[in-house]
Structure 1
């Protein structure tokens, strides 16, 4: 069974979130399979101990892959992608040309909101963002959003997590939701699959279920 990542896991020193713009549902599915396959192979072959998990989500409109990567540290991630990123991206781009990658953003978890009776056994998530303004704006947005969700959590929302980027210029809300739930201003995604660190393997990289652009 597919399982969404735990954004609050204590060994995750850094969380990288990136979008791949793929434009169509078919390209979205093919790119997701290719990315999960590449990361599964690299994790098995090189066993990077600092790599914890890569989770790949498909946006509901079929245009975007959302990639959530968890590592123990920024330095370990950067060292790994310096050595392996170029070959990985080249192989994926030969199979699915034209993917646009704005680049990953490094986030730190700042708030967790757990509604009473929250259920997180869902593979759907809603992601909402803010960016721009002064460096303190994202911090304030995260504080206000967390307070609002604690006071009035939307029906069907699981444990929500608020992140602020390393440079404090961007904020991000990540919240599991049921099929019937939604969060204003957010984009819904479903989990395609995940690759765990060297001690585990690939979770749901099949049909049921990204240094610029690669987490």
Structure 2
């Protein structure tokens, strides 16, 4: 079965070898709410679709127009099997409930490293910030060094809970998923730690977005043994 959770995903879990992110444009805050409700109904009325899917989370953009999706897969092959057997029926039901959703593309990643949540830290993130850094095609191999440079300057505190850097498998960009206590805490921190990285060879520029966690879906108790699949660390 499929179970809803308020727990934020654990981006460091070792059994999620293929993290995916995607964005939908739905247009208005009301349609954001309707789309989240439609996703929840569509998934909760069906069995959990694949052993290789660890979790699926949806976030509402502070822009009032977009939804961010983050799914944790054991492998890309597990996702491709899901596409062949279960994805379309879910898409069709959601689109019937909320017509006109614009799907802006799916990004496939590998987590490169980051600032992990401190041991014993039980704060619940009030804000998730996504920063995308785009690179020229010839600079794909320089992305890891750019991330390592930033990791040498990022410090926990001032409201930052964690930061996770992902390299896109197509070689085009880096995605940073950062958990903050609140939007106010994020606004109070100067962006100076990015300064040294802005002139990195091959870096083309940044885009960013602010999101709130709206929906978490994870495997429910097994029908055979009554146990629940792991959902990651508590948030």
Aligned-residue offset at 1:114: 3.7
| Number of aligned residue pairs | 198
Q: Is the contact between residue 49 and residue 82 of structure 2 (CA under 8 Å) also seen in structure 1?
A: no
The 1:119–1:126 alpha-carbon spacing in structure 2 relative to 1, beyond 3 Å, is farther
**2:171 maps to 1:181:** no
Q: State the Cα distance separating 1:141 from its structure 2 match.
A: 3.2
Structure 2 equivalent of residue 81 of structure 1: 83
Does residue 127 of structure 1 match 2:149? no
| TM, length-normalised to structure 1 | 0.82
| TM-score normalised to structure 2 length | 0.75
Q: Give the RMSD, CA atoms, in angstroms.
A: 2.4
Asked if the contact 1:20/1:100 (under 8 Å) is kept, the reply is yes
User: Do the aligned partners of residues 35 and 154 (structure 1) sit closer, same or farther apart at CA in structure 2, a change above 3 Å counting?
Assistant: same
TM-superposition CA deviations, 1:9-60 (whole Å, max 9, x none): 1110110100011111011111112123323333x2x552111100100111
Aligned-partner Cα distance in 2 for 1:18–1:53: 14
Q: Which runs of 5+ in 1 are unaligned?
A: 204-215
Give SS of 2:69's match.
strand
Larger strand share, 1 or 2: 2
Provide the rounded CA distance (Å) in 2 between the counterparts of 1:147 and 1:37: 43
Shift of 1:191: 0.5
For residue 194 of structure 2, what is the aligned residue in structure 1?
A: none
Consecutive unaligned residues in structure 2, runs of 5 or more: 192-206, 222-227
- Give the C-alpha shift of residue 126 in structure 1: 0.9
Q: Which runs of 4+ in 1 moved over 3 A?
A: 114-120, 183-186, 198-201
Q: Does 1:141 align with 2:138?
A: no
Cα shift at 1:161: 0.6
Equivalence for 1:212: none
